[in-house]
Structure 1
């Protein structure tokens, strides 16, 4: 099929990919709100097609509510919840899944349209096909995450939440990078310097920090050790160690919060160093230098926002802003890394 494709660049394709990236960002924000409101387990079945239609009658709502009553979260946390209260958490989860379906549709239909019209740059066709497969996989990962909270737990497994969020941010990066490529065309000359590796390394650190933050969220670790810079007056929290290595890395509230803090220190230092070096570089274009400085500034602001979120015990609005800012930081880092590979 790629033999029928033409052209090196396509601004309509780029705009389409930016729109899809915006939808992925919206999914991340709604997904964060769904988690923060403990709404993610309100829909206990995975129906990729028929699940797009919400309950349309009192009988249908009652049936959904009865299914929710069978899981541990209801029995141990929400026993006695009214139907009205159930509807409020149901709509968060339904909205998150609806956005997923909408994002898939907004990707697939234009993809077919652009392919038929031969407007997709030849070198991007199979990359876009891979992004579509990854997006479909994300739906399965989402259900795999939800399923972990339906039988023995009252919330989803933190490590599965980390994977789910990690795939979402990987999709965001892939969409943005491909959109930049579609807008500008293939690079006519690559930059003969180590800046590409540095910028991609910075992207990797930001991505790792996001994954560490997902473990904090999955363990509700933002609700403990709300002092700063110490943790209840100590450098290392008393309950750092879990029952084993995995229990410590993925399930200890003290450990995951400490790791997220340490990651923030390292990332801030590296981002400032790279931003300063970029500004002073004789190899980088002015636009690239500004992007490097912007990434450094965004990382510092995000760190400050994280401290405020922690010390205020993770209020809903501030936590959502913190997650949104993480996506924006990664987006800027993606633009910087992409730009460093071009003159």
Structure 2
């Protein structure tokens, strides 16, 4: 019989949160494929409930296609597209939205179950409620992003894409952290070490790099300056500056790619330094030391993937691998930061 006293740990809750984190990762993957195939604007309406059903008749498909023909992307990029080709991009976007609904369902139902059964650790109740609210916000931000590409543009606004992707990665990181908390329970003794700041700093750098990567994707900046380590034979691109500060930082193809490269070098150097220093740090546990090395290895692999993706003009397979690896790197960095807070 279930006790009315909540434990500070729960393995079933941890498994649930890890499973939802995996679904969030899957949604990032499908979202990346949707972007790489230019499918994100194929559904021009936001119907959170009825939109779960795809077109079921020939007339439904014709109606959806007719709505797509009204936006600039069709007129300027895909004019003359066949219905069969439209169905291909439609299914990518529909799958992405359906997966978002599945993530919401997979979180909400077990959350309610664990609350009713009083199996959710008390210290995680409000945190999980916040995660659920953040997931709902993510859906609204997704539509806000799509709406930016339905008039006056042929793609979504890069800064809105960065916001949407950033929220997804915040959710992923928070899910991983909460799952680890549920698995191990509250720390009996919190570590007092500067490594806590270093670990969170590394997490921040990785997250910032992910946002810059979203700006690269949103501006199709991976399709220019495909040489490396130079940029069209120069160390610094000549067309770096835009019409203003925001136009430069968010909309200049040269600027966003250059910034992404520079921060990548920084993240790589910091991750390798942290791994070397961690191996010598007496105050770190063996698990934390191992995680530091694993993070450095993952960052190195991600950097190599980034270079390969750039120099091969962003093929879909490499583009997706690069985005998946970004999620893995952040999850590992999250686990490292979580571990160094415990003696």
Q: Which residue of 1 aligns with 2:142?
A: 142
Contact 1:134 1:171 in 2 (8 A): yes
Runs (4+) off by over 3 Å: none
Q: Distance in 2 between matches of 1:134 and 1:125?
A: 14
Q: Distance in 1 between matches of 2:192 and 2:163?
A: 35
Q: Which residue of 2 aligns with 1:47?
A: 47
Report how many aligned residue pairs link the two structures.
Answer: 340
Unaligned runs of 5+ in 1: none
Q: Structure 1 residue 12 and structure 2 residue 12: aligned?
A: yes
Contact 1:203 1:333 in 2 (8 A): yes
Contact 1:5 1:121 in 2 (8 A): no
SS of corresponding position for 1:237: coil
Unaligned runs of 5+ in 2: none
SS of corresponding position for 2:78: coil
Q: Which residue of 2 aligns with 1:281?
A: 281
Q: Which residue of 1 aligns with 2:116?
A: 116
The Cα of 1:158 is off from its aligned counterpart by 0.2
SS of corresponding position for 1:336: helix
SS of corresponding position for 1:288: helix
The Cα of 1:301 is off from its aligned counterpart by 1.1
Q: Distance in 2 between matches of 1:175 and 1:287?
A: 20
Q: Distance in 1 between matches of 2:221 and 2:302?
A: 18
Q: Distance in 1 between matches of 2:57 and 2:19?
A: 34
SS of corresponding position for 1:291: helix
The Cα of 1:191 is off from its aligned counterpart by 1.2
SS of corresponding position for 1:197: helix
Q: Distance in 1 between matches of 2:50 and 2:238?
A: 48
Q: Distance in 1 between matches of 2:334 and 2:153?
A: 36
Q: Which residue of 2 aligns with 1:269?
A: 269
Q: Structure 1 residue 99 and structure 2 residue 115: aligned?
A: no
Q: TM-score, normalised by structure 1?
A: 0.98
Q: Which residue of 2 aligns with 1:32?
A: 32
Q: How does 1:315-330 map to 2 (within 5 A)?
A: 315-330=315-330
Q: Distance in 2 between matches of 1:279 and 1:34?
A: 41
Q: Which residue of 1 aligns with 2:181?
A: 181
Q: Distance in 1 between matches of 2:237 and 2:11?
A: 52
For the aligned residue pairs, the C-alpha RMSD in angstroms reads 0.7
Superimposed CA distance per residue, residues 244-271 of structure 1 (whole angstroms, 9 cap, x where no aligned partner): 1100000000000000000001111111
Q: Structure 1 residue 239 and structure 2 residue 247: aligned?
A: no
The Cα of 1:5 is off from its aligned counterpart by 6.4
Q: TM-score, normalised by structure 2?
A: 0.98
Contact 1:5 1:115 in 2 (8 A): no
Q: Which residue of 2 aligns with 1:196?
A: 196
The Cα of 1:190 is off from its aligned counterpart by 1.1
The Cα of 1:285 is off from its aligned counterpart by 1.0
Q: Structure 1 residue 165 and structure 2 residue 156: aligned?
A: no
